[in-house]
Structure 1
Amino acid sequence: MTRQKHSFRPAFENLEDRSVPTAVGLYMNRGVLSINGATSGVNSIAVTGGNLNNPWVTVKGQLGSVRVNRTFGPGEVTSLQFIGGNMADTFINNTDLGSKAWGYGGNDKLFGGRANDWLYGGNGVDRLNGMNGNDYLDGGAHSDWLYGDAGNDWLIGGTGGDYMEGGADSDVLIGGSFDLPRMRYYQDKAADNMLGGAGADVFVAEWFVGTSGTRENREYFTDFSAAQGDRVDNP
């Protein structure tokens, strides 16, 4: 039987592909608003507006010891970028703008907006919420909580035992680590809990050879439904 390819494959972009300022603060570059957090302090930022009813984009919160409260005019900001530090950071994108957010160290909380978002937890026990749009969520190291919500999302657990919930629409849930530009999967042999939600979802399972010589699966699929088009892929 020929397998159907999943309809959503995010385009790849390295963090190194974009010039990121090192100083703490807000920076604009061709419509991209970079929110650069403190390395050693706690960063907590909420971005609002950026929609038809309110085209003004307001950034409020704290970047380490720096207090932030700034508003940008209609059309000035076309997308958002958040760079966290080594502490527990929070980034909330409550706009219609797409965003890329990196938590790095610490137990971070990253929330996407109503467009397409890329969220990277990094080290620590992180919570990533894609919200609306077709999102790409990568938990990174340790045990993370990933929620795709609405849209066709990719959820990458990374190393550690992760909880992943695809939400509405058709999602891809991957238990281990995944090298997107090379489309290469790496096992970590940790038990992940996957819930696809509504839609035809793809579960990428970790298989390994047990002590008895048989192949075993460490993943838990809590709502697998072949009737709605769910399937399991084995790397």
Structure 2
Amino acid sequence: MARKQNTFRPGVEGLEDRALLAAYIDYWGDLIVTGTIFNDSVSVDSYTTPWGTNYIQVTQNGASQYFLASSVWGGDVEFYGGDGHDYFSNNVGSLRAVAYGGDGNDTLIGDANTDYLHGGAGNDSLNGWTGHDTLQGSTGDDTLSGHAGHDQLFGDAGRDSLVGADGNDSLHGGDGNDLLAGGAGNDRLGAYWSGAYWIDDAGNDWLQGDAGFDTLAGGYGHDSLSGGAHDDLLWVDAGDDLLYGDDGHDQLIGGTGDDDLVGGFGNDQMWGEAGSDRLWG
């Protein structure tokens, strides 16, 4: 009696009514995945055959395509979303994710490498996970989470929520009323480097330090800054602001506007600057 054998054949699965995958390896050895004008769901995973051959599996809208892991020698997986609400997840730690959500409310997730995630227009959710990541929100009300690693988060326009988590992070909310939380590590919140000094944009922002030696820059708008543990530097520009040093030996600088400066525990230094300010040691 002949015994039927199951054979693994890398390639495109039976598609039925599904769209053909738009994934390929470019000249530089990077894996390129292109979305459609519809809502796309893309995940990139590792797959090892029973006889030990390693593949990169790209699953897009329910259909899978396989590439020899050694053929992705460039080290990047790039995703280019279309106009829909897209989901992209890179689950291969050896590959760096470079993902552009495009228009729509997108979810982009990196892994253990140094990822670059750009949400594009829409209300996007970006998650860097481990690695030293750069997350760019663009227009819309975005949620950016750096997780572990020394991350750079840019909210841009809109009401954004930026969370650095572990690592020495730099968080810049941009225009709009933003929430910035540094998490553990020595963080810079609410600012970006202009080449000479730190600048923040307009908006009524909430900046939260945590453990580490943090720098919080409120900029324009009515901002609330809380340094958290350790020795922090808090400063604002225009607007009626609240600065709270919390634990540690902190420096609080009010700027223009009627500001409230609260040192908290520790030996703090406070400067009200212009305006009718109130200072509590």
Aligned CA distance change for structure 1 residues 218 and 80 (closer, same or farther; 3 Å): same
Separation in 2 of the partners of 1:125 and 1:90?
13
1:1-235 maps to which residues of 2 (within 5 A)? 25-29=22-26, 30-38=28-36, 40-49=37-46, 55-62=54-61, 68-77=63-72, 78-96=75-93, 97-176=95-174, 188=175, 190-205=176-191, 206=200, 218-222=204-208, 224-225=209-210, 228-233=212-217
Aligned CA distance change for structure 1 residues 145 and 116 (closer, same or farther; 3 Å): same
Shift of 1:54: 8.2
Residues 190 and 207 in structure 2, CA contact (< 8 A), matched pair in contact too: no
Separation in 1 of the partners of 2:212 and 2:98?
31
- TM-score, normalised on structure 2? 0.61
Structure-1 residue corresponding to 2:230: none
Write the deviation string for residues 168-218 of structure 1: whole angstroms up to 9, x where unpaired.
111000011xxxxxxxxxxx2x1100110110000125366xxxxxxxx72
- TM-score, normalised on structure 1? 0.73
Shift of 1:37: 0.8
SS at match of 2:70: coil
Write the deviation string for residues 70-114 of structure 1: whole angstroms up to 9, x where unpaired.
111131112100000111000000011101000011100000011
Give the RMSD, CA atoms, in angstroms. 2.3
| Structure of higher RCO (CA pairs closer than 8 Å, 6+ residues apart) | 1
Residues 25 and 31 in structure 2, CA contact (< 8 A), matched pair in contact too: yes
Over the matched positions of the two proteins, sequence identity in percent amounts to 34
Number of aligned positions between the proteins: 185
SS at match of 1:75: helix
The residue type equivalent to 1:148 in the other structure is G
Larger radius of gyration: 2
Residues 99 and 108 in structure 2, CA contact (< 8 A), matched pair in contact too: yes
Aligned CA distance change for structure 1 residues 105 and 81 (closer, same or farther; 3 Å): same
Separation in 2 of the partners of 1:201 and 1:28?
37
Residues 207 and 218 in structure 1, CA contact (< 8 A), matched pair in contact too: no
Aligned CA distance change for structure 1 residues 82 and 58 (closer, same or farther; 3 Å): same
SS at match of 1:56: strand
Separation in 1 of the partners of 2:164 and 2:113?
16
The gaps in structure 1 that reach 5 residues or longer are 1-22, 177-187, 209-216
Q: Post-superposition, which runs of at least 4 consecutive aligned residues in structure 1 deviate over 3 A?
A: 205-208
Separation in 2 of the partners of 1:100 and 1:207?
26
Shift of 1:49: 1.3
